[in-house]
Amino acid sequence: MTVEACATPADVATAAADLVAGLALDPWGSVRPSVYETGRLVALAPWLEGHRQRIEYLLDTQRADGGWGGPGGYALVPTLSATDGLLSALGVGPATERGLAALAGLLRAPGPVIPDLPAVELIVPALIASLNERLRDSGRGGLPLPSTIDGATLGRVRASLASGINAPQKLLHAWEILGVPRAGRVPVPVADGPVGGSPAATAAWLRDHGGSEPAWRYLERAVRHQGGPVPCAAPITVFERAWVLNWLAEAGVPVTPPEGLLRDLDVAIGEHGVAAGPGLPNDADTTAVALSALAQFGMPREPASLWAYELPSHFCTWQGRTAAR
């Protein structure tokens, strides 16, 4: 049962209670698989449990027009990742040909709109380079970069990492596309195992830098949770709990969260806010919603942690991000 499908107020209350109980029972939650992240695992980690199921997921979710993901520019990143993954696993075939045709249309369209997504200026040129290398190996021509992204930022970031600087935490979530800095400092997974809160970043780290038992355990659990395909970040326990509780309260749906669930939210918020999940940087969105959820259920606290995200003209989503939201 879902809240949307409920016919009566009693049904809504029952469904909401079940939903909240599920939050407490399963910290990994119910975030849907990501085409981008699953495509990265297909390309980077064919040795990982669930490889066949990830390939099948990509084949099953391909649209009739050959692409994946949302409309317009929102299709670019997932279509790049899925096509690259399938090309690495299956070679040139009907699915990859349709994906390449969809990409050609997206990339050659006049003035393609690329949404302001995390690390998109790094991910797009990295995936196009990966695809073009595979296409060259099969005697095919490559894909162009979109007119609004030139790859220079990716080059600068890779050079900085190779020089030995510590990678900012926000970059760890996209470690799978940054390459292996020869002289750079290698990130260390957090205690719970993930690099950057990301299955793909963790798989790239394990492939390039060898064993770490917590990282292996994390990755195995991530792929088993939904039978092979993976979400873009997992687990995002704080994010999911905060948003669900806040939405229910804002909608006036009566629920009584377990005391431990609220206590965990409260404890998670530190001086600089809270992250959506392990390995991710603290962010203003998750912090604000967690604070709101606590206030909605009788545990208000000072929102001083949000000042960490104040800029002269607006609040940023996470420290180091300058775009307005």
CATH code of residue 121 = 1.50.10.160
Whole-number average pLDDT of the chain: 90
DSSP-assigned letters across all residues of 139-158: T---PPPPTT--SHHHHHHH
- What pLDDT sits at residue 112? 57
Q: 67, exposed or middle or buried, with CB in 10 Å at 0-12, 13-18, 19+?
A: buried
Indicate if 207 and 177 belong to the same structural domain: yes
Same domain, 144 and 18: no
What are the pLDDT digits (tens) for 204-245?
Answer: 988 887 767 888 999 999 999 999 999 999 999 999 999 999
**Contact yes or no for 159/151 (Cβ under 8 A):** no
The token pair at 185 is: 């400092």
Residue 205 lies in a domain: yes
Using one digit for the tens of pLDDT, what is the confidence trace for 111-157? 656 888 889 999 999 999 999 999 998 888 899 998 888 889 999 99
Q: What is the pLDDT of residue 191?
A: 65
**Boundary (domain end) residue, out of 225, 258, 274:** 225
Question: Are residue 243 and residue 139 in the same domain, yes or no?
Answer: no
Is position 265 within any domain? yes
- Per the domain annotation, does 211 fall within a domain? yes
The confidence score (pLDDT) of residue 169 equals 83
pLDDT tens digit sequence for 85-108? 999 999 999 999 999 999 999 998
Assess contact for 278 and 194: CB atoms under 8 A: yes
- pLDDT tens-digit map of 249-276: 999 999 999 889 999 999 999 999 999 9
Residues 182 and 127 in one domain: yes
Residues with Cβ within 8 Å of 31's Cβ and at least 6 positions away in sequence, in order, are 231, 233, 234, 236, 240
Where is mean pLDDT largest: 138-147, 158-167, 172-181?
A: 138-147
Residue 102: HSE in the Cβ half-sphere, 13 Å Cα cutoff? 29
Beta bridge partners of 274: 283
Q: How far apart are CA 192 and CA 202, in angstroms?
A: 12
User: How confident is the model at residue 111, as a pLDDT?
Assistant: 64
8-state DSSP, 274: E
Residues 72 and 163 in one domain: yes
> What's the domain range around 239?
3-29+235-309
Domain boundary among 172, 200, 225: 225
Distance CA 22, CA 124 (A): 36
Tokens of 131: 């695809």
With a cut of 80, say whether residue 109 has pLDDT above it.
Answer: no
Considering the domain architecture, whether residues 208 and 239 belong to the same structural domain is answered as: no
Structural domain contains residue 314:
no
Residue type for 280, please? L
Residue 15 lies in a domain: yes
* Domain contains 181: yes
Identity (one letter) of the amino acid at 273? G
> Do both 200 and 218 map to the same domain?
yes
Q: Is residue 323 part of a domain?
A: no
Q: Are residues 109 and 244 in the same domain?
A: no
In a shared domain, residues 24 and 162: no
Judge if 255 and 110 occupy the same domain. Answer: no
Specify whether the backbone of 198 is left (phi greater than 0), alpha (psi in -120 to 50) or beta. Answer: beta
Number of domains in the chain: 2
Task: Mark whether 70 and 127 lie in a shared domain.
Answer: yes
- Domain match, 105 and 80 both: yes
- Is residue 325 in a domain? no
Measured between alpha carbons, how far is 192 from 176 in angstroms, rounded to an integer? Answer: 19
